[in-house]
Amino acid sequence: MLGLRDYKHYREGILSFYHIYSAFERSWAHLLANPAFVEPHVYTALQAIADPRLTRASAIASDLTYLYGPDEFNPTALAKTGSMRAEFVSHIEERLREKPHLVIAYAHNYYMALFAGGKMLLRQILMAKNFFPIKAPAGDYDEAKAFSVNMFIFPTDAGKEETLRIKFKEAMQIAEESLNEVEKTGLFLLPGLLGLTDNPEEIIEESRAIYQMNERLIRELDEICKSSTIPAAQLDQADPTHRFANHKLLLMMSFVATLWMIKWYLCA
């Protein structure tokens, strides 16, 4: 919600997630390029869900290069403030080095998030007036928007993004069939369902860690952005519709997330 108030908060937020996407996509590419380090059945699973159209790190880097400027954005610098980004990246690299099949947890969580809630966020951002800065190479506001939201845009033909999502879900099924019982148990079940918090399997356990670290990452962003944040009371007083808009977005996202969890559970 802070990101919808100021593009500087928005860019700080996608900077955090740039490092997350970059870490697991980079580790994933390394595993695929070095099959000798991966069990054959795991390699089959990782290869099944690999699709260059899904990868987001380069798209987010493009957004950040525009929003910060090519001289200010450093893709290798983890953080100016706070340490959660560096901790999360270290966790990803260590876990995927030890257990390559956990790539599936990251791919499923982060790509499906963009297919679902990401589209809602994109609509909200594009509806904001005078949100994006107009600077080179953008010549007008429409171009400024196009240079700033590549994170949410998958390279598909017009109207074909749903096809990409379906293909990814089908590939996840192939990946499930490639893994052994310990690796794949609960692949499509989210943490906490049906008492699975007891004796969680590996992919479920890593999904739980992802959710927890995401929460910590957002809390860190709160601290990073706090100094330049407009007080909520002041903002609501200036714009009486803002509070309703914020609550409406949160309710919509919660509703969609709940439906998404139920759907995946029933299809598992």
44 within a domain of the structure (yes/no)? yes
| 154 pLDDT above the threshold of 60 | yes
52 within a domain of the structure (yes/no)? yes
266 within a domain of the structure (yes/no)? no
Those residues with Cβ within 8 angstroms of residue 64's Cβ, 6 or more apart along the chain or in another chain: 11, 14, 15, 18, 73, 75
Lowest mean pLDDT among 31-35, 55-59, 234-238: 234-238
134: containing domain:
2-231
* Token pair in block for residue 131: 């949100």
What is the average pLDDT across 212-217? 93
Q: How many CA atoms lie within 13 A of 260 on its CB side?
A: 16
What integer pLDDT is reported at residue 237 of this predicted model? 39
Separation CA 93–CA 99 (nearest Å): 10
| 238 pLDDT above the threshold of 50 | no
What integer pLDDT is reported at residue 76 of this predicted model? 84
- The average confidence (pLDDT) of the chain is 80
Separation CA 255–CA 110 (nearest Å): 18
254 within a domain of the structure (yes/no)? no
238 within a domain of the structure (yes/no)? no
Those residues with Cβ within 8 angstroms of residue 207's Cβ, 6 or more apart along the chain or in another chain: 105, 108, 109, 190, 191
What CATH code is carried by the domain that includes residue 141? 1.20.910.10
Question: pLDDT tens digit string along 43-101?
Answer: 999 999 999 999 999 999 999 999 999 999 998 887 554 589 999 999 999 999 999 99
Separation CA 200–CA 208 (nearest Å): 9
251 within a domain of the structure (yes/no)? no
- How many domains is the chain built from? 1
- Residue 247's pLDDT band, with cuts at 50, 70 and 90, is very low
| 266 pLDDT above the threshold of 80 | no
